[in-house]
Amino acid sequence: MKPILENLVEMTGHRDHLRLEVSVLSTLQKLPTVKEVRALEVFQVDGALHVRPRTWVEQGQLVSTQAHVAQSDARRQPLKDFPALQQCIANRAATALHSPQKGVYTLWLPVWMHEDVHTCLEITQSRPFSAHKLDVIKSVFHVYQNYQSLLDYSERDALTGLLNRKTFDEQFSRQVSMPSAGATELTSPGDASLAAEEPLQQWLAVVDIDHFKQVNDRFGHLYGDEVLILIANILRSSFRGQDRIFRFGGEEFVVLLRSTTLSTAHKIFNRFRLAVKEYHFPQVGQVTVSVGFASTSRGAPVEILGQADQALYHAKEHGRDQVLFYDELVEQGHLHTKVAHDDVELF
């Protein structure tokens, strides 16, 4: 019992979801008769649920891969290949047991967050799980899941449920340093030839609701909050799971769009803009947004954010309800940069 308690203390000392995942698997791996532990990521591809190992044991060490490669991971499998786990998730059950052959007994523990399951812990051992063993595993798992929920709560905006500014500051450097190769591109068949000619990049967009102060002044903060919540919902439906959406506060949002071309980034951001424009907001009616975006391929995080912000303010000062790209504004002479000592400085 003492080693388990020591591992629980170490586990709850983490402030990062992936490190916490590695820590709980390390705790479970040390239990007697356990042969293998993994964390499976659960995600959708073309409307069907798939799973793929995100954290596993390799040469005696726990290793992880990042979430953004899920859809292109060659090890992904349809969830239907795991009938017991599929039924468990469909029934919102707490656990699933499966024994494909003698000497191999697998326990699955789905991690439920916000009515969805995105992760499942998998524990395999050489003998059937005793009632006592299941109680120990479930107790460790409940501590892990509760702590995951606390971390998630601290990372999210209370009103919209989107990631908050604090989380953006912590994640941005890590997000932009991830490789782009191999990720799934948001293109239609007609875009294939164009996409092949353009490099995949990552993009940061700043989104601002046009004339939001007038909404609050005219209809009150209750309807203003409803507009923010509905905009957040449109943002969620407009981007992929591997993209990241943040609320910066007030009426401003930030989107990190992963691994796509410039032409497709334009289409994606404009598709979101049109979705907002065409939506009928209760009592308020029509609402529009302005978007400024920049590539994350060069410059420090604060500089990239500043570039997207400049593009946003140019959009708001020149008609609103539009999407503008920072580099194009510079090329057209609308914005300027100053080069000094091989660094780009904004002014």
Report yes or no: 246 and 232 within 8 Å, Cβ to Cβ: no
pLDDT value at position 301?
Answer: 85
What is d(CA 204, CA 13) in angstroms, rounded to the nearest whole number? 31
Q: Where are the alpha helices (DSSP H) in the chain?
A: 2-11, 17-29, 83-90, 131-155, 165-177, 192-197, 212-219, 221-238, 262-277, 301-317, 326-331
Query: Of the residues 108, 124, 155, which one is the last residue of a structural domain?
Result: 155
pTM of the predicted structure, to 2 decimals: 0.70
Sign (positive/negative) of CA torsion 140, 145, 146, 151?
A: positive
Examine the domain organization and report whether 170 and 218 are in the same domain: yes
Residue type, 93: A
Please check whether residues 173 and 138 belong to one and the same domain. no
Domain boundary among the residues 155, 175, 208 is at: 155
User: For residue 18, what pLDDT is reported?
Assistant: 80
Q: Which of 121, 155, 189 is the last residue of a domain?
A: 155
| Shared domain check, 77 and 170 | no
Looking at the structure, tell me whether residues 185 and 300 fall in a common domain: yes
Full pLDDT tens readout for the chain, 347 residues: 556 656 655 666 656 778 889 989 998 998 888 999 999 999 888 778 999 999 999 888 899 886 556 667 788 999 999 999 999 999 999 999 999 888 899 999 999 887 789 899 999 999 999 999 999 999 999 989 988 888 888 889 999 999 999 889 877 866 555 544 334 444 443 444 444 577 889 999 999 999 999 999 999 999 999 999 999 999 999 998 778 999 998 999 999 998 899 999 999 999 999 999 999 999 999 999 999 999 998 888 889 999 999 999 999 999 999 999 999 999 999 887 644 334 444 44
Same-domain status, 141 and 181 = no
Please check whether residues 125 and 207 belong to one and the same domain: no
Q: Are residues 175 and 88 in the same domain?
A: no
Residue 297: predicted pLDDT: 87
Residues 334, 247: one domain?
yes
Examine the domain organization and report whether 69 and 122 are in the same domain: yes
The domain in which residue 212 lies consists of 163-346
**SS3 state of residue 198:** coil
Q: Are residues 204 and 131 in the same domain?
A: no
- CATH number of domain containing 53: 3.30.450.40
Please report the pLDDT score of residue 344 as a whole number.
46
Cβ neighbours for 251, distance < 8 A, ≥ 6 positions apart: 208, 209, 212, 228
Q: Are residues 144 and 214 located together in one domain of the fold?
A: no
CATH classification at residue 335:
3.30.70.270
Nearest CA-CA partner of 117 in 180, 172, 169, 39: 39
Domain count for the chain: 2
Q: What is the pLDDT of residue 4?
A: 60
The predicted structure's pLDDT at residue 278: 97
Question: Are residues 292 and 177 part of one domain?
Answer: yes
Structure tokens at 60: 């005696």
